[in-house]
Amino acid sequence: MLRYLLLLIISSLSISVLQANTDTSSIYEEVESSVYQVRVINIETGKKVAIGSAFVVQRDDILATNYHVVSEYVNDPDVFRLEYLSTDGKSGPLELLDLDVIHDLAVAKSSTPMGKPLEIADVPDKGARLFSLGNPLDLGFSIVNGTNNGIMAQDQDGNILFSGSLNQGMSGGPTLDESGKVVGVNVATQGNSLGFLVPANYLSIILERLSNNNFKPVEDRFKRISEQLIANSEKTIKRLSQNDWGSTHIGSLLVPAELDKSMRCWDLSRTPKKDDLFRSFLTQCSNQNDTYLSKRLSVGAINYEYSWMDTEKLNPLRFYSRYEKMNFSFIESEVDKSDVTNFACHTGFTTIAAQEFKTTVCRRDYLKYQDLSDMLFSIALVGHKAQGAMFNLDVTGTKSKTAFALFKKMVEAFQWKS
Amino acid sequence: MEKLILELTQQGKPSYYKLSTFPVTIGRAYDCDVVVPDITVSPKHLTIEETEQGFEIRSLADENGTTLNKEKISENTNVPVSLPSLLTMGELRARLIHPEMQVAKTQFTSRGSHWFSFLSNPFWAFVFVALTILTIIISKHIRTPVQQEELIYINAVLLPLLGMFVVAFIIAVVSRLTMHRWALVPALSISALLFLVPLLFVHIGHFLAYLTTSDGVALVLKYVASFLLLPLLIAFYLRRVHYTHWPSAIGIAALVTMPVSAFFASDLVQEMSNNSGFTPMPAYNKTLSAFDIRMQKTVGVDEFLQQSEVVLSEQVEALLSKESD
């Protein structure tokens, strides 16, 4: 009996697989000649350092892919070159035209016709079947089918969540709807059977900009990237500023709670012990939005933390010795001296919420990206014998003025409740 | 009644010969009037003769030669001598002095009224040691904001206390060997100060750093403690206990502390090369003080931010232009 049941299950499974295969194979045949592999090649050794997928779009010599696939070439155009590889093994050089680091897109041009351009369509309804094409792990072309799980709720221009297993080399490949039109570009994977797609309408924006400009390549790529990052940071901070932040207690201070629903906040307070002579609390919030620039560099983080410390048992000298140890702040990143300047800092004393704070502002600028800065703000309550409070805010990849405005708005919302 | 004093300096120590009958022969030979065991001196080196005008010397041998007031005198010629005169025979240094020449002023001993006599006063030695112990205990107490047993404090004190006595003992033993005199009290004072002053400097530096909202003063104090403290204390000690003249005291102190200074110097060079390079860490004054005594006034947020914007864009501009050079 059990054996029959098992047989029944297996046969029904194989039927559904067969059905799926017919759908995907027809799509694959239709677009196969329009999907390519993109390679970043070291000019000296001739060997690839990064691969991804790309597809023909708008014109028969225009290819779209991810920015992160070609990022090494963008950052060191003297060391690397770009190349395509077709399903039938033909290869040739590519010229980078334009990019969008915020949405992880890049557009390149070939000197020869590459095949039939794919059409761009709007994102279909949630639950619609999607087909993702690409070149996973350099093993040859493949097609993955999955479902549109909608645009991620974190922010308005979020990515599409795709329940299909995208692999690394599929980055830059197209995701098609059932009629074979591009609705998204593969970007990233997170664990099993989960992928993210960039909505294809962001690609349309670049293509429109290019066709207005007769498909001429961008002259200063770093300037273009810098403008995009600054505009994105301004947009994000403007959106944050318009939100109702709510408020939360940290000791005697009433401070802004979550600047946005995309912020992730954690409590990192030390666990109190029975014979403690003081209390201390720490909460940290960070946005989940990093813009990838290179293996080492990503910007667009907004992090802030509040800490509080008070005592009934410690004398002021002992209390301050401990309180002072909490007074430090830095930005976690892997930047080195080829990316940014050292921090320049300015320290003074300010009145916030009718209390006095030792206040520091630090700024460092990016060397390649004009006017782009990392900003760090730190304030520490002074003048109280048995209470201490700190607030640290850091904003990376922004314009200093924009970060100043956010800091100002945040500390203006502080209130003291003794 | 002696008419002339001959001062010979052998192995750093002077010896005096009171000469009353002339001529006097000086040399290594045992039948000389003044026998000197220096191997660079000839067996019969020179004679000193009395004349109506005063004294004359005559070189008897030309082996390593003789100089008078740094001028070479030739063999078997009489050269008149004025007093006092510097004389060298071979490598041996000597002086010819008038018996009534003024001697140097008396050095007041430890209990004198000199301003740094505190180094030799047992009361002050005790105070320094006590202060050092107290400072160590207070620093330990301030630094650890948890309840602790008394044993911990004793433990914190024991090691520096031992170090203090070891240093004092070394200084005293060196004194004993060179001067044949124990000078334990000044050695203990010096040793206690060596531990106490850097500790005090840390606290003073911290206070000043908060006062001025700048780390500069604390750094200066740190370097003073590393480079100047030990040589100065040793120079004081030499002056006080060995009655060495200031220039030689400072010279000896600098020489003795050279290894320690070299260690700090290599540390400093390393630190400087670290600081001159790239760092992802923001450098700002992080001191906080319970006293809240400071020179900077409190200003409104707006005013401070406007100030910062100007200051920072200037500084970043400078960093960028340095980078593009």
pLDDT at A10 over 50: no
pLDDT confidence of residue A262: 81
Best residue in B140, B293, B311, B315 for a mutation probing chain A (most A CBs within 10 Å): B315
pLDDT confidence of residue B311: 95
Q: Are B23 and B50 in contact (CB under 8 A)?
A: yes
Instruction: Please report the DSSP string for B188-253 in residue order.
Output: HHHHHHHHHHHHHHHHHHHHHHHHHT-SHHHHHHHHIIIIIHHHHHHHHHHHHHS---HHHHHHHH
Alpha carbon separation from B150 to B133, B140, B147, B153 (Å, rounded): 14, 11, 10, 5
pLDDT at A17 over 60: no
Are B277 and A337 within 8 A, CB to CB?
Answer: yes
- Please give the share of chain B, as a percent, with pLDDT higher than 90: 47
Are B278 and A344 within 8 A, CB to CB?
Answer: no
Choose among A32, A72, A33: nearest CA to A52: A72
Pick the residue with more confidence: A26 or A394? A394
> Can you tell me the mean pLDDT for A199-205?
90
pLDDT confidence of residue B111: 53
Can you tell me the distance from the alpha carbon of B193 to that of B234, in angstroms, rounded to the nearest whole number? 11
Are A411 and B290 within 8 A, CB to CB?
Answer: no
Structure tokens at A254: 């009433």
Can you tell me the distance from the alpha carbon of B82 to that of B51, in angstroms, rounded to the nearest whole number? 12
Report long-range pairs for A148-152 (Cβ below 8 Å, ≥24 apart): A148/A123, A148/A124, A148/A183, A150/A126, A151/A123, A151/A199, A152/A196
Can you tell me the distance from the alpha carbon of B111 to that of B185, in angstroms, rounded to the nearest whole number? 12
- Local confidence band at B259 (pLDDT 50, 70, 90 cut-offs): very high
pLDDT confidence of residue A23: 63
Alpha carbon separation from A205 to A58, A210, A377, B60 (Å, rounded): 12, 9, 36, 111
pLDDT confidence of residue B148: 81
Q: Which amino acid is at A11?
A: S
Taken as a whole, chain B contains a residue count of 325
Low-confidence winner among B34-48, B76-90, B98-112, B170-184 (lowest mean pLDDT)? B98-112
Q: How far B315 CA sits from the closest chain A CA (Å)?
A: 6
Q: Are A368 and A336 in contact (CB under 8 A)?
A: no
Partner residue opposite B280 with nearest CB, options A324, A333, A350:
A333
Structure tokens at A384: 């109280």
Question: With an 8 Å Cβ cutoff, is B310 touching chain A?
Answer: no
Angle formed by the axes of helices A400-412 and B301-324, to 10°?
A: 160
Q: Are B118 and B131 in contact (CB under 8 A)?
A: no
Question: With an 8 Å Cβ cutoff, is B103 touching chain A?
Answer: no
Q: Which amino acid is at B145?
A: P
pLDDT in tens, B137-160: 999 999 888 888 888 889 889 999
pLDDT in tens, B180-213: 778 888 899 999 999 999 999 999 999 999 999 9
pLDDT in tens, A146-182: 888 776 655 455 677 777 777 777 888 898 888 888 9
Pick the residue with more confidence: B40 or A191? B40
Can you tell me the distance from the alpha carbon of A329 to that of A394, in angstroms, rounded to the nearest whole number? 9
Structure tokens at B35: 């026998």
pLDDT at A14 over 50: no
Q: Which residues of B touch A276 (CB under 8 A)?
A: 146
**DSSP bridge pairs for A81:** A41
- Local confidence band at B115 (pLDDT 50, 70, 90 cut-offs): low
Structure tokens at A350: 């300010």
pLDDT at A18 over 80: no
Taken as a whole, chain A contains a residue count of 418
- B31 phi/psi in degrees, rounded to 5: -90, 10
Give me the helices (H) in A97-216, please: 201-212
Pick the residue with more confidence: A8 or B144? B144
- Please give the share of chain A, as a percent, with pLDDT higher than 70: 89
Q: Which residues of B touch A280 (CB under 8 A)?
A: none
pLDDT in tens, A345-400: 999 999 999 999 999 999 999 999 999 999 999 999 999 999 999 999 999 999 99
Question: With an 8 Å Cβ cutoff, is A322 touching chain B?
Answer: yes
Q: Which helix (H) or strand (E) holds B165?
A: helix B150-179
pLDDT at B324 over 70: yes
Are A341 and B323 within 8 A, CB to CB?
Answer: yes
Q: What is the signed CA dihedral for B149, B153, B158, B159, rounded to 10 degrees?
A: 110
Q: What is the signed CA dihedral for B179, B183, B189, B195, rounded to 10 degrees?
A: 60
Q: Are A390 and A360 in contact (CB under 8 A)?
A: no
pLDDT confidence of residue A11: 45
Mean pLDDT of chain A: 86
Q: Which helix (H) or strand (E) holds A66?
A: none
Rg (chain A; Cα; Å): 26
pLDDT confidence of residue A331: 92
pLDDT at A15 over 70: no
Q: Which amino acid is at A176?
A: L
pLDDT in tens, B236-252: 888 878 888 889 999 99
Q: Are B246 and B107 in contact (CB under 8 A)?
A: no
Instruction: Please report the DSSP string for B109-138 in residue order.
Output: -TTSS-TTGGGG-HHHHHHHHHHHHHHHHH
Q: Which residues contact B194 (CB under 8 A, 6 or more apart)?
A: B164, B167, B229, B230, B233
Q: Are B185 and B120 in contact (CB under 8 A)?
A: yes
- Local confidence band at A72 (pLDDT 50, 70, 90 cut-offs): very high
pLDDT confidence of residue A22: 45
Q: Which residues of B touch A344 (CB under 8 A)?
A: 311-312, 315-316, 319
Can you tell me the distance from the alpha carbon of A178 to that of B19, in angstroms, rounded to the nearest whole number? 127
Are A364 and B301 within 8 A, CB to CB?
Answer: no
A86-100 core/surface letters (b: 16 or more CB in 10 A; e: else): bbeeeeeebebbbbb
Alpha carbon separation from A362 to A42, A190, A348 (Å, rounded): 38, 35, 12
Question: With an 8 Å Cβ cutoff, is A95 touching chain B?
Answer: no
Are B213 and A348 within 8 A, CB to CB?
Answer: yes
Which residue is closest to A351 within chain B, CA to CA? B300
Are B146 and A277 within 8 A, CB to CB?
Answer: yes
**DSSP bridge pairs for A303:** A286, A394
At A210 the three-state DSSP class reads: helix
Question: With an 8 Å Cβ cutoff, is B299 touching chain A?
Answer: yes
- A116 phi/psi in degrees, rounded to 5: -75, 125
pLDDT in tens, A76-134: 999 999 999 888 888 899 999 999 999 899 999 999 998 889 999 887 878 888 888 88
pLDDT at B122 over 80: yes
* DSSP-derived secondary structure letter, B183: -
pTM for the whole structure = 0.81
pLDDT at A192 over 70: no
Give A 162-191 residues with CB within 8 A of chain B.
Answer: none
Identify each DSSP E strand in chain B by its residue range. 4-10, 13-19, 24-27, 34-35, 46-50, 55-59, 66-68, 71-73, 78-81, 85-89, 92-97, 298-300
pLDDT confidence of residue A288: 75
- Local confidence band at A254 (pLDDT 50, 70, 90 cut-offs): very high
Can you tell me the distance from the alpha carbon of A118 to that of A120, in angstroms, rounded to the nearest whole number? 7
Give me the helices (H) in A175-328, please: 201-212, 221-242, 316-325
pLDDT in tens, B17-66: 998 888 899 999 999 999 998 899 999 999 999 888 888 999 998 888 89
Question: With an 8 Å Cβ cutoff, is B295 touching chain A?
Answer: no
Alpha carbon separation from A336 to A78, A296, A406, B245 (Å, rounded): 20, 9, 26, 55
> Can you tell me the mean pLDDT for A56-61?
91
